[in-house]
Structure 1
Amino acid sequence: MTSRTAKYDVIVIGGGAAGLSGAQALARSRRSVLVIDDGTPRNAPADGVHNFLTRDGVPPAEIYKLGRREVQGYGGSFVDGTVTTARRTADGFEVLVDGTAYLGRRLLVTTGLVDVLPDVPGLADRWGKDVVHCPYCHGWEVRDQAIGVLATSPMAMHQVQLFRQLSDDVTLFLHTAPEPTEEQWEELAARGIAVVQGKVEQVEVADDKITGVRLEGGTVVPRQALAIQTTVRARAGFLADLGLEPTMLESEVGTATPVDAMGATQVPGVYAAGNVSNPMAQVMPSAAAGLMAGAAINFDLITEETRLAVAARSS
């Protein structure tokens, strides 16, 4: 049996940087806001958030705790749980969480994404430690180390040059990626980037640290850190009943939910911000996108309310 709650101006699905920032903007505009969050942010494995001015190195959970407190201070509400379905109603939307239906006039989706790692034994256990993906998020922490870049797509050519900025000892493992072009071979050589052909069989670990990369055939190349390009999957399957499906990114590294500059999706009344729509966004730009989407939703509601008020006054 499904129970229903009071209706909110906006339901924010996802309580990370984008969701909390959008919720704060809306609550400060005196909107009734409900944030629904399942407590599994993308950056949970990370020790700290970086490139977030005044919050550099702060654990993600601490930032979200502070954000929740601020949103609650402006009257925002929270529910812990996972949204399984979102449907349109006569005057808004209904989202289902563990048998309870929450009603909102607008939706802001900030559920982020899932990183799918290459199927290499030992890789997943080191994720967020000495297996990293973003040079801006984690590069400083592995600077001057022996870094390996595990190539699974053409994006590895871009990634390896970024990590070469952080260390003189960088090795590109071609693994399952296409062979570099003649121009790329020249660029790799010019920057002193070693290239190892053949598939990676396993990540070697000792004393809770990466020690090397084992290739098929048994050769081990010593490394201290490993960078990878994950396959990203937008966490937005619950929007299917609204006709909103994630699309493949131009880089072909995964999916995202398309939005315009203010976060509006192709479905009127549904907005998205953060990694669910922009997988490249770090915490600070995700928060900024949430703020912009919150502002856009507020004005969207004002436009609707003004139209209804004019109609009522004329009748």
Structure 2
Amino acid sequence: MYQFTPDEIDRERANYQAVKQGADDIDAKRIGNLGEIAFEQFCREYLPAEMWEWENEDAIRRCNPESFSGHDFEVFGYEIDVKTSRDVSAFLPETLVENDSEDDIVVMVWHRDNEDSLIMLGWEHVETLQSKVETEAQFSGNSPAKLEHLATRPMNDLQDLGPNTANMNQTPTNPFQPGDRVEKRENDASVGVVVEVLPPETKVELYGQELDGEGVRVAFPSSLDEGPGDWRDISPALLSSYCDDQNISLYTYKHENLQFAEHPFVVGDYVIKSSHDDPNPAVVVDVAGDDVSIVYEGPRGDEVAPANLEAHCHEAALSIYSYAHDEVAFLASE
């Protein structure tokens, strides 16, 4: 068995995708999405990347409605459906067969009440479950009242279905997360915002060649500022959904070619003066070298376009203050 602990990005995406899809039961759809994310993590680390596919990857990563598919994953040519439940009785062979008899394999994932941890109990061929149900129906006696049989195979046995080429512990080494401010490893590089961190199994072409390794999709603030909403108020987990909805251009880089931005601030950012005991919120109106110019209680990006902020402050006679970049910090989101 394996334990999967979703982070805040996983939880927000799982819930928002359920909302965007218009699910009748948001709670059930959210936990189902988390179960798929848990199994995808298992596949990513323990199965050859070229031999499995997540049918709902784009839907969940970008919080879009699912395109119809009768199964969640295809692994070694087998159609796999992930069943997630807090109620262990949902994993009884008869219950599983009643709910899903069309796929090849069912993966069973149990979750805690507060959804902070999921346990992959195991997997089983649907044919084996059907055989178990038929055998019990023909059994002359009754099953023990206090002991029900859950037909499951250990998760690692899934590797045995494919060729003997599985690489263990393929944990990604990408250091970035959505929302991080990054720049290319070169002088005078522009600051970008990480929108998507692509797992190594995702097939992406870069300059006409398939990307080998882990890719990072980045949007630049000038493009984000052109969107209809204030992207700085959007959770990092939902930036990919926002960019997809608004057709905002994304640029893909190898993660080795990026670094965390030394000076992460750009015009329009919401900041505070770090040394103040009770700091007032401010807006960045200019960035020049190591210096950041700000206006306290200034207009937000949905009131005045960031590109026009400095001119607006001069016209409105608003006081502008300049500090070294390490004297200010991002305003914590509420």
Is the TM-score greater than 0.5? no
Higher-strand-fraction structure: 1
**Given the two structures, how large is their TM-score scaled by the length of structure 1?**
0.25
Q: Which has the higher contact order (CA 8 A, sep 6+)?
A: 1
Larger Rg: 2
